[in-house]
């Protein structure tokens, strides 16, 4: 194994807002990592639950490792930038308050960077349910299924180190932020997509390290799933009002699917259009229905549960439609 220079501190930035259910698990997993030269900077976005109280208790117990800062703007990119500006480490890790990390997460990623394999390293992300209900289990399964979330390799998995376009919870050389700038605070969501595109254009390398693993606690209701992915879809297209090439073409697939469904509905309501034309145009819809039924059935069989099968169907549709509608709205929204 490469001899890691443990003198190189890692500053872990965690922007949070109302994460009382999971923040203690996050902090425990980071404190228990085998890489000990760390500082944890929790940037609280004006939480209204007990998140800040929980973090303050940890900060008083681990005063040399944990500190809490305030983010009056509330939104994630502002919180990230506050944390980065206050980071004293050679490396900066972007973490989440609703995830935990394997014991070797930091050391495995730092090893990849210090071996000069890359400039940014992150691990695989396993999506877990927040509770043991059929709905929560189904949502977590859909959020790690390729048909649910696309081909992001940090979600679908790789066997060996691999160069990628993005990682979920990356460890960055701090010099990257000094050279290409911080996160764009105008992008309330999906700021990581734009930042990683900027990073790649500047010639920096991102590596997925499968030996490192994170565990993400998925949202547990369809309402929360809809709100989160609608917002993600919105900011994919709306971000173009601020920056050029803020996303990749694959991010627009749900939008085109929703547009297709709208046109299919309109065609079905026009009597003068021949039936065979309507049926032909309906083929993609039938194919989509067959696929989500097949994939949901496999999830239901995996858990031996009819309830999880039904909830998986709803989760797939919720995920795709909400993201697509958000992207459409983002194109026409005029606010700045």
Are the CB atoms for 113 and 173 separated by under 8 Å? yes
Other Cβ atoms within 10 Å of 74 Cβ, number: 14
Element at 163 (helix H, strand E): strand 162-163
Write down the pLDDT at residue 2: 46
Are the CB atoms for 305 and 297 separated by under 8 Å? no
301 within a domain of the structure (yes/no): yes
- State pLDDT tens for residues 122-171: 999 999 998 899 999 999 999 989 899 877 788 877 889 999 988 989 99
DSSP states of 44-81 as a string? E---SSSHHHHHHHHHHHSTTTEEEEE-TT-SHHHHHH
Provide the residue count of the chain.
336
Are the CB atoms for 210 and 160 separated by under 8 Å? yes
Kindly state whether residues 196 and 274 are assigned to the same domain: no
Nearest by Cα to 211 from 282, 322, 314, 109 = 109
Quick one: CA torsion of 184, 189, 192, 194, rounded to 10 degrees? -60
* Mean pLDDT, the chain, integer: 92
140 within a domain of the structure (yes/no): no
Kindly state whether residues 20 and 110 are assigned to the same domain: yes
1 within a domain of the structure (yes/no): no
242: left (phi over 0), alpha (psi -120 to 50) or beta: alpha
323 within a domain of the structure (yes/no): yes
Kindly state whether residues 195 and 317 are assigned to the same domain: no
What's the angle, vertex CA 284, arms to CA 324 and CA 254, rounded to 5?
15
The three-class DSSP label of residue 125 is strand
227 within a domain of the structure (yes/no): no
Kindly state whether residues 195 and 319 are assigned to the same domain: no
Kindly state whether residues 318 and 268 are assigned to the same domain: yes
Provide the CATH number for the domain around residue 173.
Answer: 3.90.550.10
Kindly state whether residues 119 and 194 are assigned to the same domain: yes
Q: How far is CA 147 from CA 141, 142, 165, 205, 295, in A?
A: 11, 8, 19, 27, 8
What is the residue whose two structure tokens read 């066997």?
Answer: 159
pLDDT at 5 exceeding the cut of 80: no
Kindly state whether residues 22 and 89 are assigned to the same domain: yes
Domain housing 175: 10-131+153-218
Q: How far is CA 317 from CA 153, 222, 303, 311, 314, in A?
A: 22, 10, 20, 10, 5
- State pLDDT tens for residues 171-181: 999 999 999 99
**Tally of domains within the chain:** 2
246 within a domain of the structure (yes/no): yes
- State pLDDT tens for residues 50-86: 999 999 999 999 988 999 999 999 999 999 999 999 9
Kindly state whether residues 213 and 292 are assigned to the same domain: no
170 within a domain of the structure (yes/no): yes
Kindly state whether residues 203 and 257 are assigned to the same domain: no
Kindly state whether residues 265 and 315 are assigned to the same domain: yes
145 within a domain of the structure (yes/no): no
Kindly state whether residues 177 and 246 are assigned to the same domain: no
The whole-angstrom separation of Cα 27 and Cα 44 is: 14
Kindly state whether residues 67 and 209 are assigned to the same domain: yes
Span 189-194, average pLDDT = 84
């Amino acid at each position: 194994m490469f001899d890691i220079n443990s003198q190189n501190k890692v500053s872990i930035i965690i922007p949070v807002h109302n994460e009382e259910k999971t923040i203690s698990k996050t902090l425990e997993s980071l404190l228990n990592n085998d890489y000990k030269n760390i500082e944890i900077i929790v940037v609280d976005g004006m939480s209204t639950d007990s998140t800040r109280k929980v973090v303050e208790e940890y900060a008083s117990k681990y005063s040399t490792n944990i500190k809490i800062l305030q983010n009056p703007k509330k939104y994630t990119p502002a919180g990230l930038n506050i944390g980065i500006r206050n980071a004293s480490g050679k490396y900066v890790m972007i973490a989440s308050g609703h995830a935990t990390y394997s014991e070797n997460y930091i050391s495995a990623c730092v090893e990849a960077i210090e071996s000069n394999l890359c400039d940014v390293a992150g691990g695989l992300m396993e999506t877990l349910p927040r509770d043991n209900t059929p709905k929560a289990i189904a949502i977590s399964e859909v959020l790690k299924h390729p048909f649910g979330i696309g081909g992001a390799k940090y979600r679908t998995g790789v066997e060996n180190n691999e160069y990628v376009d993005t990682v979920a919870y990356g460890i960055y050389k701090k010099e990257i932020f000094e050279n290409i700038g911080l996160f764009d605070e105008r992008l309330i969501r999906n700021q990581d997509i734009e930042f990683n595109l900027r990073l790649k254009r500047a010639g920096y390398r991102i590596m997925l390290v499968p030996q490192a693993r994170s565990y993400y606690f998925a949202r547990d209701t369809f309402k929360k799933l809809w709100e989160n992915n609608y917002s993600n879809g919105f900011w994919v297209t709306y971000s173009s009002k601020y920056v050029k090439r803020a996303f990749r073409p694959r991010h627009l697939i749900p939008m085109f699917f929703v547009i297709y469904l709208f046109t299919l509905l309109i065609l079905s309501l026009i009597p003068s259009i021949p039936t065979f034309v309507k049926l032909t145009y309906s083929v993609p819809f039938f194919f989509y229905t067959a696929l989500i039924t097949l994939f949901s059935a496999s999830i239901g069989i995996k858990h031996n549960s009819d309830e999880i099968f039904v909830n998986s169907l709803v989760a797939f549709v919720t995920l795709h439609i909400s993201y697509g509608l958000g992207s459409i709205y983002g194109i026409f929204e005029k606010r700045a």
